[in-house]
């Protein structure tokens, strides 16, 4: 079946602009995660959605970052007033109910000039 998909695959933007990154989880998966991976680094947790519960936003680095998940499926991560330090690969993962394993999408490579 289809895996996690993300769009765009690459995004180049200018400092100060807003960007939106999209994630389509595996069909039927109730949990959705956003992570960030800077060059040569591990994954940094950003935000987690589980069903209709309030999202866990504890990993968001600043109030410029926000995310929503519409209809319990597709999620959008928005970064306002982008900064050069926001340049990274943004990875989305989904997980099935009752399971521990997260499956990752291909990521969006964001470059802020």
Q: Based on CB atoms, which residue is closest to other proteins, 5 or 13? A: 5
Helix (H, G, I), strand (E, B) or coil at 29: coil
Burial 62-97 (b: 16+ CB within 10 A, else e): eeebebebeeeeebebebeebeeebbbbbbbbbbee
Q: In whole angstroms, give the CA distance from residue 110 to residue 101.
A: 26
**Least distance from other proteins to the Cβ atom of residue 32, Å:** 11
Question: With respect to other proteins, which residue has the nearer C-beta, 16 or 101?
Answer: 101
Between 31 and 74, CB nearer to other proteins: 31
Q: Which positions lie near other proteins, rule CB under 8 A?
A: 31, 33, 35, 40-45, 48, 50, 56, 59, 91, 100-107
Residue 10 β-bridge partners: 109
């Amino acid at each position: 079946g289809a895996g996690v998909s993300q769009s765009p695959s690459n995004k180049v933007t200018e400092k100060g602009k807003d960007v939106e990154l999209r994630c389509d989880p595996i069909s039927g998966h109730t949990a959705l995660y956003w992570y960030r991976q800077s060059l040569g680094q591990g994954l940094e947790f950003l935000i987690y959605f589980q069903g209709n519960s309030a999202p866990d936003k504890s990993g968001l680095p600043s109030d410029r970052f926000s995310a929503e998940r519409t209809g319990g499926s597709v999620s959008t991560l928005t970064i306002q007033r982008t900064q050069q330090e926001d340049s990274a690969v943004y990875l989305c993962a989904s997980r099935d109910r009752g399971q521990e394993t997260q499956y990752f999408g291909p990521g969006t490579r964001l470059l802020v000039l």
